[in-house]
Amino acid sequence: MKKSVKIIALVFLVGLVGIQFIPTQPNQSDSVPETDFMLVYNVPKTIQKKLQVSCYDCHSNNTQYPWYNKVQPVAWLLEDHVKEGKAELNFNEWDSLSSRRKASKIKSIISQIENDEMPLASYTLIHRDAVFTDTEKQDIINFLTELKNKL
Amino acid sequence: MLLLTLSFTNAQEKEKMNMDHSKMNMDGMKMNMEKMQDIKAEAILNDYFSLKDALVADDTKKAAQTGAKLAVSLKAFDKSNYTANQQKELVDIIADAIEHAEHIAKSNIDHQREHFKTLSKDIADMVAITGTKNTLYQQFCPMYDGGSNWLSASKDVKNPYYGSKMLTCGKVTQTIEM
């Protein structure tokens, strides 16, 4: 092997090992606050389950981390997703929003699911159960639309 | 309903102004007693109209830029000259509007228009409290998303929800003057 290739490979390896030592902030909470979406509304069991499986990892205070989260740069990527996801929408803190904000969020949720922009493709690639079937899409959109109209 | 709210808040503002008038030192100060002017609100409205024009022109890039600019002017809003109740309402309105403006700054045109609908309601609600220096027109398109409003600085109807596809579709439903 050429010397330069060996050096690059070494640097890469050292880098890879090095970043393993960088700590990340786990998104974990063992309590569900009373502001949680599921506690505020009477959510049908099937939709509850779907939200939990497809949305809550990035949009709540409690992420179910996979084994490969122990490896960088995966942990970084996931941390990034969770941080951005929670900033946009946090189901656990739903009731802290005004009715106006709730209505806006619901519109966005409907739009994102309808246009297949959520859940993220990178998420459903690994989490096959997070994918929305056409029926599941329609069910949740109907539920959310009704909710929005009652606000 | 909006007209009632507008005339009510207008009466409230006039009342507030009369009270402030008695406390004010009028030496050398010229006061326009006819219209309450909120400079920050006017800046917000200007950016909103720029955004509206960009959407009318199907210019998603310009819409993103003006959306970002609008988010900035919204954040610069000063609520201190309003009553406690008005402030509470304004905080809510502005927070929601900022979110929509920020989303518009990074979305494709379809999403921008979705957000613009709710943003327009927020801005209309803001104007109901802050008033407006210039006459505004509420315009309505019956076709977009079951019927959607927007505000315009001119009576001419140019549709921001459909742009060139249906440029003049819509009508004036309200004239807003303070």
Distance (Å, whole) CA B101 – CA A3: 53
pLDDT of the residue at A92: 97
Find the radius of gyration of the CA atoms of chain B: 17
Contact state of A100 with B93 under an 8 Å Cβ cutoff: yes
- Whether residue B22 is predicted with pLDDT greater than 60 in this model: the reply is no
- Domains in chain A, number: 1
Looking at the complex, does the CB of residue B44 fall below 8 Å from at least one CB of chain A? no
Contact state of B96 with A108 under an 8 Å Cβ cutoff: no
Say if B142 falls within a structural domain: no
Say if A101 falls within a structural domain: yes
> Cβ(B55)–Cβ(B166) under 8 Å?
no
Pairing, β B171-176 against β B148-152: unpaired
- Residue pointed to by tokens 């004010």: B24
Token digits for A91? 């189901």
Distance (Å, whole) CA B113 – CA A41: 29
Contact state of A103 with B93 under an 8 Å Cβ cutoff: no
Contact state of A103 with B114 under an 8 Å Cβ cutoff: no
pLDDT of the residue at B14: 57
Say if A11 falls within a structural domain: no
Q: Report residue B28's pLDDT band, with 50, 70 and 90 as the boundaries.
A: very low
Contact state of A100 with B96 under an 8 Å Cβ cutoff: yes
Select the residue from A98, A114, A148 to test the B interface by mutation, using most B Cβ atoms within 10 A.
A98
pLDDT of the residue at B33: 37
* Alpha-carbon gap: A110 to the closest alpha carbon of chain B (Å): 11
Say if B90 falls within a structural domain: yes
- Whether residue B173 is predicted with pLDDT greater than 70 in this model: the reply is yes
pTM for this one?
Answer: 0.84
Query: pLDDT of B88-137, one tens digit each?
Result: 999 999 999 999 999 999 999 999 999 999 999 999 999 999 999 999 99
pLDDT of the residue at B34: 36
- Judging contacts by C-beta atoms under 8 Å, the chain A residues touching residue B116 are none
Token digits for B128? 């109901």
Q: In terms of residues, how long is chain B? A: 178
* Alpha-carbon gap: B164 to the closest alpha carbon of chain A (Å): 23
Paired strand residues for B171: B140
Q: Which of A101, A107, A108 sits opposite B95 (nearest CB)?
A: A101
Contact state of B92 with A108 under an 8 Å Cβ cutoff: no
Q: Report residue B10's pLDDT band, with 50, 70 and 90 as the boundaries.
A: low
Residue B141 parent element (H or E)? strand B136-141
Q: Please count the CA atoms within 13 angstroms of the CA of A105 that sit on its side-chain side.
A: 22
Q: List, in sequence order, every beta strand (DSSP E) within chain B.
A: 136-141, 148-152, 171-176
Say if B160 falls within a structural domain: no
Token digits for A88? 């946009």
- Judging contacts by C-beta atoms under 8 Å, the chain A residues touching residue B111 are 111
- Domains in chain B, number: 1
Say if B156 falls within a structural domain: no
Query: What range defines the domain where residue B100 resides?
Result: 2-9+36-133
Q: Report residue B13's pLDDT band, with 50, 70 and 90 as the boundaries.
A: low
pLDDT of the residue at B29: 42
Say if B71 falls within a structural domain: yes
What ipTM does this complex have?
Answer: 0.87
Looking at the complex, does the CB of residue A2 fall below 8 Å from at least one CB of chain B? no
Query: pLDDT of B51-62, one tens digit each?
Result: 999 999 999 999
Peptide bond into A73 cis (omega under 30): yes
3-state secondary structure of B172: strand
pLDDT of the residue at A48: 97
pLDDT of the residue at A116: 96
Select the residue from A104, A109, A116 to test the B interface by mutation, using most B Cβ atoms within 10 A.
A104
CA nearest to A36, candidates A59, A63, A58, A64: A59
Closest residue of B to A96, CA-based? B92
Query: What range defines the domain where residue A91 resides?
Result: 24-150
- Whether residue B23 is predicted with pLDDT greater than 70 in this model: the reply is no
3-state secondary structure of A61: coil
pLDDT in tens, chain A (151 residues): 789 999 999 999 999 999 888 888 889 988 899 999 999 999 999 999 999 999 999 999 999 988 888 888 888 889 999 999 999 999 999 999 999 999 999 999 999 999 999 999 999 999 999 999 999 999 999 999 999 999 8
Looking at the complex, does the CB of residue A104 fall below 8 Å from at least one CB of chain B? yes
pLDDT of the residue at A74: 87
Say if B24 falls within a structural domain: no
